[in-house]
Structure 1
């Protein structure tokens, strides 16, 4: 039976003593009266008998101590592990590392988020991860429940800059909003970039593929014929296939450890020795924390392994491209080696095409370049995926085919269980995309003339 003990003479001299599930005595200090301590202890023993007891000691576990336990229980893609580790080491551990799990709630999370100077999207991702970890703490018996579950964590209200004159209001930009394209914008980018780079933009806008699915697309998985029955007649279509095992290119930063780190130091020693032998001055480079690697692997989820119908104009462009293309991957770099694209490398191609660039005059060793006016500032390859879904919604493409095309899973939705893709849906989508291409081409050429 629970009882109370007096410890000291301060304002809260009483502590509760109660029997834990394993038979040992537990204690909780900080009570003003003997009665309050006894009541608390009896509540604990009642909760133990009812099977709903939560150990107060576990709830006081520092956040940084529970994180490795939670991370070890997760089974996610390497890229997700790296992203979570980055958010933890750069943001959450410095902010909550020594904080007890039971002291983290929606108010402390909001207060922390309001003090951050990084992008709002980064803050939101960090708080989402924090909430996931607290849910894990509840599942593991460290907390009764996640106090952040289902709660709005950041305000979308405008940010007022009191330093601005004449009562003007500054609005914080929405970091998560993607720039999407109209058909004429997509065609102008396709023309300006040209080659495989331009075809990548057009293909992303008219298929909705993710970057990794597009960059890792093998020629054996494209231009595949399919035949359906539509009104008693054959309906022929051409598809691309996202392979369930190697259908996406992954770009992940792995930590350098053990032999790999030793190999890096050996190569650096050899580089410095070669420079010294030639009489060159060279400094030792900073030891890298990680190494970015490219590899083929499964797409984002099971439903991402799919077939996507190609509109007729894109079939013709791909046939012409592959007839002249000597590489195995449809959208690799145009050099002789045909290497996989890195996101940063392709961004250096896309950014000036979308955002515009200044002219550089001819000078010694440089042929010069012309000025490019902006076409669609801020447009990205993720924005191309947004573009495709926006177009499908505008063209009234049935939801079943939209989800199928984008590789989205339908969960907890009875409509998704009963709806299916039909040949008529596919035909209507392809007809709408073909019409968009022709309209975009006509408008883009009209703007030039």
Structure 2
């Protein structure tokens, strides 16, 4: 039960007759100290009423510890980041958003003084793409929800709110697409690009375009998980096909300590992005044939790596990949420099993400059923249907037939019969040589 007591003012070391009131109220169970106080009330009743209100809030579970009421967004954001053990790339991305965009505005603002009006006004002024603004606000909301769960706030003012989007001036104009072609990349582009880059890199391109692997998943693909066999009942028999088992991926990011201090860029092998990403991808016959040939020639455990056996860094990959897509000028031979032929552009702006998107586009074009389309892409299907509908052998056979036909039609369209000038993509044994 809250009670009030006098607090006499002191002047020159002597107590005077002037006083104010201090209230003492019972803290929640387990709190140290067990009793809390607040001074400066002018009347006994005001002090007792305030203490009684605090005890009511404690009973209802909506009381905020006074020690937490002055905590700033920046202070709690650092607590949040230290307590959330995410994948390295996720942690790095969150720190980048905090340091570059969020903390410069909100670092010293007390949590309880942050309102949706102020946040919505601020995000409209950010010199970023709209999707990046949304990611910043979403991260702020996640941190504010954690602050509420930790007893720093009674409500998250950002939760469930819809951002105001700038529709004036240049903001209303559509942004120029990265790939300057309606419909995006074609299977023919993937074939031409793979042919240009050669067997070791070209098979990586085709696996992405016709298998839908993410960039990091392709780098992490181990030969022990390549061309395993799926066996599944089908009618009175068994359906079999080769698969790629996606169980891990490489992530390149700037490593940080628990306080967010930068430690340098690293390339690490990590678990897949989420439970939907860990999957077995069915491989069409043409790609299985190319992969068998590649496995026989490639000496390294990771089948899509540099010739020296280390994972591709994004910068090194771009120096190889961009000229193949965008084209390049002829380079004359001179002392110390080899001749380099000119390349006509295949599709400027094409990247590995667009090739992964091509696979999903092909699945839609071929009418691949949703249970299998989501599985092959590594997406977690939303809704109750993911618990009821499962990929069947008939669905798998239909998808593989469609991808196989799409590949060979693309080969015919670009005038190729084989990849990389080989007469037969299958490895010839000594006994088969005349």
Which TM-score band (shorter chain)?
Answer: 0.7 to 0.9
Task: Considering fraction of residues, name the structure with more strand.
Answer: 2
Q: Return the offset for 1:225.
A: 2.4
Residue 158 of structure 1 contacts residue 171 of structure 1 at CA under 8 Å; is this kept in 2?
A: no
Structure 1 residues 445, 397: CA separation in 2 closer, same or farther (over 3 Å shift)? same
Q: Return the offset for 1:99.
A: 0.9
Residue 218 of structure 1 contacts residue 329 of structure 1 at CA under 8 Å; is this kept in 2?
A: yes
Q: Return the offset for 1:423.
A: 0.6
Structure 1 residues 15, 294: CA separation in 2 closer, same or farther (over 3 Å shift)? farther
Larger mean CA deviation between 436-445 and 368-377 belongs to 368-377
Residue 354 of structure 1 aligns with which residue? 325
Q: Return the offset for 1:424.
A: 0.6
Counterpart check, 1:148 vs 2:158: yes
- Within 5 Å, which residues of 2 pair with 1:275-354? 289-334=262-307, 337-354=308-325
Separation in 2, partners of 1:385, 1:15: 70
Counterpart check, 1:114 vs 2:84: no
Larger mean CA deviation between 37-46 and 51-60 belongs to 37-46
Separation in 2, partners of 1:49, 1:74: 30
Structure 1 unpaired stretches of 5+: 6-13, 163-168, 258-287
Separation in 2, partners of 1:154, 1:358: 46
Residue 37 of structure 2 aligns with which residue? 25
Structure 1 residues 170, 228: CA separation in 2 closer, same or farther (over 3 Å shift)? closer
Number of residue pairs aligned between Structure 1 and Structure 2 = 392
Separation in 2, partners of 1:143, 1:101: 7
SS of 1:374 mapped into structure 2: coil
SS of 2:229 mapped into structure 1: strand
Separation in 1, partners of 2:141, 2:193: 40
Q: Return the offset for 1:81.
A: 1.7
The CA RMSD measured in Å over matched residues stands at 3.6
Structure 1 residues 18, 435: CA separation in 2 closer, same or farther (over 3 Å shift)? farther
Residue 201 of structure 1 contacts residue 381 of structure 1 at CA under 8 Å; is this kept in 2?
A: yes
Residue 244 of structure 2 aligns with which residue? 240
Residue 256 of structure 1 contacts residue 291 of structure 1 at CA under 8 Å; is this kept in 2?
A: no
Q: Return the offset for 1:106.
A: 2.8
Residue 190 of structure 1 contacts residue 199 of structure 1 at CA under 8 Å; is this kept in 2?
A: yes
TM-score if structure 2 supplies the norm length?
0.78
Q: Return the offset for 1:148.
A: 1.3
SS of 1:142 mapped into structure 2: coil
Q: Return the offset for 1:426.
A: 0.6
Separation in 1, partners of 2:113, 2:322: 45
SS of 2:305 mapped into structure 1: coil
